[in-house]
Amino acid sequence: MVSPDVMIRLSGLVVRYGAFRAVDGLDLELYRGELFGLLGPNGAGKSTTVRVLIGQRRADAGQATIGGYDVARQWHRVKPLFGYVPDRDNHFDEFTGRRNLLIFADLYGAPRDRVVECLAAVELQEAADVQVRGYSMGMKKKLLLARALLHDPPVLYLDEPTANLDIHSCAIVHRILRDRVNAGKTVLLTTHNMVEVEAICDRVGIMTRGRLIALDSPLALRQQHTERKVDVVLTDGERFVFDLDRDEERGRLAELTRAGKIGSVHTREFDFHSTFLKLTGTEFD
Amino acid sequence: MRWRILKTLLHKEALRHATNRGGLALAGLLVTASLLLAALNPAAEQDKPGALIGGIHHCIIWYDRDSEWVRHLDASVPAGLRTNIQFYPIDVPVGLDQHLKYPTGTGGIEIRSAPGRTAAEAFRVYVRYPEGDRAGMAVYENWFWRESYRFFHARAADTLRARGVDVDRAFPLPDLGDELWAERQAYQTLVSRYASMTNGSPAGDAVPALELRERAIIGGALDLRAAIATALVLFSLCFTCVYLMPSLTCEERERGLLLAQALSPASPAEILAAKFLFYPAFGILLATLLAGIHNPHVLGRPFFWMTLGTLSVGTLGIGMTIACLAKTQRAASLGALCYMLAVALVLLVCQQHNIVYLPRLALEYHAPHILHATLTNRLQPEHWWNLAASAALAAGWAALAVILFRRRGWQ
């Protein structure tokens, strides 16, 4: 039984490239009004999952539905439901930003005023009549977002949406995404920016080797996988790391403190980045 | 198919071409070339035969009866003319004065048995030359008269030797020289000399009388200006459909533009239909402009429009096939150039080696024939066959493109 709040549902999704299983039995539900971050190291299966959702790759097994419609079988119904921001720009470089949006607005049947609104939303009004080949990487990225918003889709997929963006532009994108989520839309983003994930995502799923290995809010994941370690520098300059969850290391630190050999102690702030590294098995000491 | 989507996609294609300076420059050059061609060839002179003659690239030797003479001629073709001279028996029932068919830019020598006035052998030799290019046959006629003289002189010498004549002294082989009139004259001298040496017996028993008749082939000359105009029109279709279309389509695919369009409400069929409508229309527009500059009357001929329609479908099929096979814009551009060069090479090699049937499998073989015929208003019944063959080949290319597209899609 699918909850009416479920917007995207992946069940038993399998995608193979030859003998390699890029996605290996993925089960995932994304809700309306949710900003979901799909994370994982390179080759984990994130992009393949998105390719299935945008109809560019057929699943070898399992099913993907958006708004209750099967992506493979009801593609014509699925198509108007989403907007897609790819990781690399795909604009008509010889046209202006405005012309690019006008073409897609005409394809979507969106009113022309919507072009002005979307340009304003990503703060590209001043560059609207400049050829896209003169845009910076960040401007092109923002234009991609404006294009994806033209038809006000209930679902938005974003692949590395803030790569190459300055801090101000990142804030604009984050605001737009949060506004959409507040309006009950669903946003799925894939990113390697852990700070961004912690800042804006409601839930995250961490994939590795095609499987979902963790699924929860960033805060909950951090709490579940936190570690207590301190960096200690002795008075003679020697450095140590003590794991406070281990009795013997805790006792050794106490001895050094009593002997007056501690020069300085720094507690480690365990962030989401470390959680990610720990979960995906790519942590290094 | 939704007209709103199609209109947007067609508008997009038009805008893309409007910003493509290279394409515009090339189209401008084609129009300039056509204008110059028209300016240098005023309309009053266009119908004058042989305004610019491209020469006679092939000479056909027709014969109604196989004989030692014909075999001697066949065996004695100089190496330099071997690919230019072709021998064919007249195996269709035609009257003595009826015309045989000659392709544009070819001439011929027809050897036909003359009606029997006497018991002796007699032939009519028809020299057929493209209208306005009598001189173009000189090289072939030189060879023909010289070798005919040698053959019949040897035959006469054998007869005389049998009669006890000291042939080496009384009947030597003279130096024929290189002058055509001298060679012809020499043959007449041979006939009379042999007759006198045999005391007036009919010469035909060894040296037959050859009755020379010269006839122009109406419309047989290759008008170089019309040929250039034909090339420009054909190039404009190839340029838009075989070169530009795959190149820009692959560029859209390579840059993810096709994906962006495919994820919009536009269906693949609509994206394809827009391309199928735009490029042939663009090609036909350019071709019509070029043809109209060369000869405005051509625009009123239905055959011209049928030709353009057929060729645009054919070139579009070729272009779509290249677009489906190539993965990148560079591969598509090189693929299109390689295709055009390969076809040109095959046609050239076939022409040089008198390979008749293979070129007929190429759209590019039929296209110049029908375009030239319609541009010069010299339409012959066989041009309808060329058009039918073009239509069949165009349908074949279009079918191949559709099959490849359905199998490989936009990759």
Q: Is residue B261 less than 8 Å (CB to CB) from chain A?
A: yes
Q: Which of B12, B263, B265 faces A103 most closely, judged by CB atoms? A: B12
Residue B136 is predicted with a pLDDT of 81
- Cα–Cα distances in Å, from B235 out to B69, B296, B370, B374? 46, 19, 14, 16
Q: Which helix (H) or strand (E) holds A198?
A: helix A194-200
Residue B285 is predicted with a pLDDT of 92
Q: Which residues of chain B lie closer than 8 angstroms to A110, CB-CB? A: none
Domain count along chain A: 2
In a domain, A141, yes or no: no
Indicate if A245 and A207 belong to the same structural domain: no
* 8 A C-beta contact, residue B212 and residue B127: yes
For B24, the token pair is 């515009």
Indicate if A66 and A159 belong to the same structural domain: yes
In a domain, A143, yes or no: no
* 8 A C-beta contact, residue B292 and residue B320: no
Q: What is the pLDDT of residues A215-263, one digit of tens each?
A: 888 888 877 777 778 889 999 888 988 888 888 988 999 999 999 889 8
Q: What is the pLDDT of residues A48-71, one digit of tens each?
A: 999 999 998 889 999 999 999 999
Pairing of strands B106-113, B122-130: antiparallel
Measure in Å the smallest separation between the Cα of B316 and chain A Cα atoms: 24
Task: Please give the residue of chain A at the shortest CA–CA distance from B263.
Answer: A79
Judged by CB atoms closer than 8 Å, whether chains meet at B5 and A56 is answered as no
Which of B11, B12, B24, B248 is the mutation pick for testing A, counting most A CBs within 10 A? Answer: B12
Residue A243: which domain range? 227-269
* 8 A C-beta contact, residue A188 and residue A38: yes
The residues, any chain, with a CB within 8 Å of residue B124's CB and separated by 6 or more, are B96, B110, B111, B112, B113, B114, B210, B211, B213
Indicate if A29 and A79 belong to the same structural domain: yes
Indicate if A215 and A169 belong to the same structural domain: yes
Indicate if A169 and A262 belong to the same structural domain: no
Indicate if A31 and A11 belong to the same structural domain: yes
In a domain, A187, yes or no: yes
SS3 of A238, please?
Answer: coil
* 8 A C-beta contact, residue B107 and residue B97: no
Q: Which residues of chain B lie closer than 8 angstroms to A80, CB-CB? A: 265
Indicate if A206 and A236 belong to the same structural domain: no
In a domain, A117, yes or no: no
Indicate if A158 and A217 belong to the same structural domain: yes
In a domain, A176, yes or no: yes
In a domain, A105, yes or no: no
**Is pLDDT at A102 greater than 90 in this prediction?**
yes
Residue B119 is predicted with a pLDDT of 54
* 8 A C-beta contact, residue B262 and residue B92: no
Instruction: Give the bridge partners for B101, in sequence order.
Output: none
In a domain, A128, yes or no: no
Measure in Å the smallest separation between the Cα of A107 and chain B Cα atoms: 6
Mean pLDDT in residue range A175-203: 90
ipTM value: 0.80
In a domain, A126, yes or no: no
- pTM for the structure as a whole: 0.71
Residues in chain B, pLDDT under 70: 41-54, 92-99, 116-120, 200-205, 218-223, 409-411
